[in-house]
Structure 1
Amino acid sequence: MKTEQISQNQLLLFFILYFFSTLVGFGASHMIHVSQYDSLLVLCLSALTGIILAFCVIKLAKRRPNEFIVHYGSEIFPNWIHIPFMAIFFVFFLTSSALILREYEDFIVQIYLPKTPNWAVGCMFGVVVAVTARLGFENLFRIAQGLFYLVILGNIGNLLFIGKELRWERWMAFITNHSGQGILMGGYSTAHFFGEAIILLFLFPYLTQKHKTFKSIILASFFSILFISSNIIWLLLLFGPNLASHLTYPMLEMIRYIRIADFIQNLDHLLISIWATTVFIKVTLFFTISVQILSQLFRLKDHRPLVFSLTAVMISLSLNIASGFAEMTSLFTDSFPTLSYFMELIPLLYLVMDTIKQSIKKKTEKS
């Protein structure tokens, strides 16, 4: 199979948007609720967890840099173990794309289109995802590269215009207010976002200059923390931890504080549309990986025939994954992190088993 080419610069910019997207939009309220002023420390520890997982995944992928884990995994584990693992990954990525899509549907319907059914939003979003998935990873990363500067400029502008509204006397709380329980609970609910760096295992054959991948992930984690923490700091200084944690979408409320002269009273529509592109990128990546896994399991030469049928499955899952907003929030904050940690540990099993097999092989050759 001919692999596409993704540069390290594209990988760096993509992962910054990838980490930034759902954590800021959908996860900020819960993280502030459990961690409060320890949220910055939680972000740093979570990023460190993601970097460690990325190191392990890259170490495994470098041993067969031009092969896909779906194919070479049978050399590490027997097929009766490997194939179920890959099937679980397929379901996980497809479900994750549906989960984020449902979060986006609820957001749009509640805030901007209250009389629009979820299925209409899901279908419109799903068609765009399907078309992009048919184009492949290379085009998705190029889209992210082009959107990166627009997203970051919008975020920086947002922070600058809101600066005058902040209550700077709250700064001292970042030094004095700490809770071990808050750090542990916040780390549990946040680290899995950065642990999603395991997707590198499925992207590695597409990368150029593979030896620089770990450096790119470290830089992406650093800049992601910079952009995410700046938003969290602004939320805490603007609303305080109690109010921010009880807002459904605190980032939206913060954006609504922007006032530029008398002719621009509200920029939330513009900035939310920019942020929505990062959600689209993450949904499309998860969905495309799930399509690729299924096509490789069935030894198909082209993944495109599967795209539209799996898009229908993704949209159906997004509509039926939860009965309402409260259940959706509970699923996103309680159940999903546990599932994510389980999935993020599977590549470590492959690494350990492959290391053991290589060690045994070397000893056998020496003897």
Structure 2
Amino acid sequence: MLNLTDIEQAALRLQGHLLDTPCVESKTLSQLTGAQIYLKFENLQYTASFKERGACNKLAQLSDDERRRGVIAMSAGNHAQGVAYHAQRLGLRAVIVMPRFTPGVKIERTRGFGAEVVLHGDTLDESRAHALMLAEREGLVFVHPYDDEAIVAGQGTVGLEMLRAVPDLDTLVIAVGGGGLIAGMATAAKALKPDIEIIGVQTSRFPGMVNAIKGTHYPQGLSTIAEGIAVGTPGVIPQAIIAKLVDDLVLVDEGDIEQAMVMLLEIEKTLVEGAGAAGLAALLKYPERFAGKKVGLVLCGGNIDPLLLAAIIERGMVRAGRLARIKVSARDIPGSLAKITATVAGAGANIEEVHHQRAFTMLSAQNVEIELVIQTRGREHIAQVLATLSAAGFEASEQH
């Protein structure tokens, strides 16, 4: 089984080829959660995720013959970019097989690192089968995203760096997909500090590792905002390490992850993808579990489609009460709409959308229903806006 020496040797191979990313305390998140939180900014790596650590460690150890043949990987995201970038740096041929549904931004970035991108299959399993077939046919070395000791050792260097930066961490909270990151980090951290607690986080839509380790039978969903950890079949090598070294695994929901992403953006001014926010999501969902502890979180990736990010920010504003949808009933006479908008403005809210509805309503024919989307300062402000409309003679309510 992998040991601390393997990870220390990986760290030597990576020197000068990757960032030793900052690991710093977030005072605001600490106040909000009741734990002392330290963030490891792996979203600042050149390819915006920790995945290039494992890729770099693996590629650095290829024989001359393997280097001549080139490498192939299957990935819809961060592993693809890590392999492509470090293959380009080392002058190796790289073929990346991606599912057909992969966002265009990820395909173009991977091509930008000099890789040949092959789009094949609607699922990761179909893509993997095609990649293995191509590896066989063209004599390429298959670089697995997590089920490979060299990959796991590379990812474990995150743990070395965190404990070097903050030696007295009590707990590490780490996102789990195939398990490569947590397996490597647990190997390093438990060797350096045997009493450290290591908690893995999976999304409730992809609970493969939780089921494998705990013997549960949670159903698997079809999609998640945290596609970086949307792994159906856990890695064999990581699973054995997790069973031995990881203290617990917890599940978080989509809403927890969205909230964590918006908080990191607003409070820390840092952009993370869904998987990168899973650790903070666990602290938001189970605050009592981590209260008073020194907790290290890995912001493991920052690759997210801008349109998806826009939707998440907007939904976050709705949850916080900063965007609200209200329905106002009024008499259908000239000036009604103007009076409503003036009243809302007088209450200090800004109107984002107006929908004036005559036909699809149960009100009497002389009345009209007006739906407004408004920007407010929060829940209390929404209540003030509704009270002001009511005082002006309008029937108004918030729509959920």
Specify if TM > 0.5.
no
Larger Rg: 2
Structure with bigger strand share is 2
